[in-house]
Amino acid sequence: MKEKLKIIPLGGLNEIGKNMTVIEYGGDIVVIDCGVAFPDDDMLGVDLVIPDTTYLKRNINKLRGYVITHGHEDHIGAIPYVLRECNAPIYATRLTCGIIETKLSEHRMPQKVKLNHVRAGDTIRLGCFRIEFIHTNHSIADSVALAITTPLGTILHTGDFKIDLTPVSGEMIDLVRIGELGKKGLLALMSDSTNVERPGYTPSEKIVGKSLEKFILESDQRIIIATFASNVSRLQQILDIAARAGRKVAVCGRSMEKISRVATELGYLKDTGKVMIDISEIRRYARSQLIIVSTGSQGETMSALYRMAYGSHKQVEVNAGDRILIAASAIPGNEKSINNMVNELYKQGAEVIYDRSAAIHVSGHACQEDLKLMLGLCKPKYFIPVHGEYRMLVQHAGLAREMGVNPKNILITEIGRPVEISENSARLGNPVPSGRLLVDGLGIGDVGTAVLRDRKHLSEDGLLIVVVTVDATTGVVIAGPDIVSRGFVYVKEAEALMEELRTISQMALDRCSVENLRDWNSLKTAIKGDVSDYLFKKTKRSPMVLPIIQEI
């Protein structure tokens, strides 16, 4: 009897980002992608969110390798963190490997990571799996889908994709090969759900080039274009337009500089018109001769455009007359910071073009008709929607039903819940350890729910510290109670309240003395309880109360 094939999502379901999927059969595991998510507003102080890989650690002897679909952060960003404990060879296309290599060198990995370059069309064998890399279109070059042949049949994982019939560089998505796999019979299709709510087809990236050219050629001012750093095709179009317009192009922003350097070295970005200059050289040219391509399309506080807007960028100062094109759509949750940044740019006298009707951005993800085409070509036995929030997965399941997939064979799962496929059936299995690990500075996973709750409490209500010095032998108060306030009230303007709090704290200590309670925990609990109750009655606020007992 054959083993069950397990598809275990460790990220990327019921969320956008953090994409990571385990494929397991018998004694072999391969992992598709290894991405990060960016923290929600309530994750105060958190830098990144990565998948919980406890299941991988427990099955490290089965791990044969990581296969990566493309070089976006939500697919490769967790590699430096995950590979510290779950090291295995990585297989990815050249540009993706180049970006991963740069990332690993920045993180100074303690052990060697084996990076293997593959091309679209290549096939590799990892354990019992045969994996074919299939060329797709996306908003970053060198993106691939994965056809994973297992002892029970072939799974197609689309990765992030769109169907671009006229891509800026390279060929259109290899629909011929996908159709051949569908004709042979696909066991399962795992398909990108990001844009499932949008009807119609996703426009070609070439449309953006035409719109950008119009906005650049009709202006005699300096142009600043904010876009995603990873969109090499868009940067290529800007270089080509600049050559025709007689302008020079400088890239600005750490990630933009990094990716443009890697893409140029590997031949994905070609400066045939010799228009690229270093950002430090812009003062040598008239403003009408310049195009600056910048990070910051999402209003990120450390990005180049954000710093320009608030006047803190060292090399670029926004002036009246500058034409700024924001060639990106807002990722949900970023709208407020983008609007604030745009307001600041307007205050500097710049002209800002960011409206969708300007057609200076198209998505890298397939819309409904493209998704239907993928389903029609694949004709899978089982369908598993991936890469999306729950409503997106449900809507994608609806498209699959429209396209003739048996409703019983459509499996909407969640992070940590395996899809178990046997010879004649498929079902959702028992959950495995999973979830999210929060990265804060150098700490990985040491910030949990309790710490976030404390940070939220501190940010909303502030902190009140009660300092008391007691005699170690007698328990008699020698000094204090002294009150220190941070983020609650300004002490100099609330002397009466501070005095009342000292009295309340002293009364709590006296009560402990009468009841012969001398251990620190009892003293702290008494002070904290009495002070908190009094403050809520008096101010209707609940700051964090932190008693500190010192013994002499």
Mind telling me the catalytic residues? 192, 365
Write out the two tokens for 479.
Answer: 């000094």
**CA distance linking residue 14 with residue 17, whole number of Å:** 10
- Cβ–Cβ under 8 Å, residues 390 and 14: yes
Listed in sequence order, the residues at least 6 apart from 68 whose beta carbon sits closer than 8 Å to its beta carbon are: 32, 33, 34, 75, 76, 90, 91, 92, 96, 100
Q: For residues 19, 327, 297 and 307, what is the CA-based torsion angle, rounded to 10 degrees?
A: 150
The two tokens of residue 101 are: 């290599």
Q: Rounded to whole angstroms, what are the CA distances from 224 to 235, 249, 251, 362, 494? A: 12, 10, 10, 18, 50
The DSSP letter of residue 50 is: E
Known binding-site positions: 361-365
Q: Indicate the annotated binding residues for substrate.
A: 361-365
DSSP assignment, residue 12? S
Residue with tokens 């598709």: 32
The Cβ of residue 404 has, within 10 Å, a number of other Cβ atoms equal to 9
Contacts of 209 (CB under 8 A, 6+ apart): 168, 234, 237, 240, 241
Select from 145, 324, 169 the least CA-distant residue to 239: 169
Q: Convert 189-247 into a string of H (helix), E (strand) and C (coil).
A: EEEECCCCCCCCCCCCHHHHHHHHHHHHHCCCCCEEEECCCCCHHHHHHHHHHHHHHCC
Token pair belonging to 50? 């990565």
**Tokens at 480, concatenated:** 């204090």
Q: Which residues of 476-488 are buried (b: 16+ CB within 10 A; e: fewer)?
A: ebeebbebebeeb
Strand order in the sheet with 436-440: 48-51, 436-440, 443-444
Rounded (5°) CA angle 211-73-127:
125
SS (H, E, C) 479-509: EEEEEEEECCCCHHHCHHHHHHHHHHHHHHH
Q: Could you give the CA distance from residue 499 to residue 29 in angstroms, rounded to a whole number?
A: 65
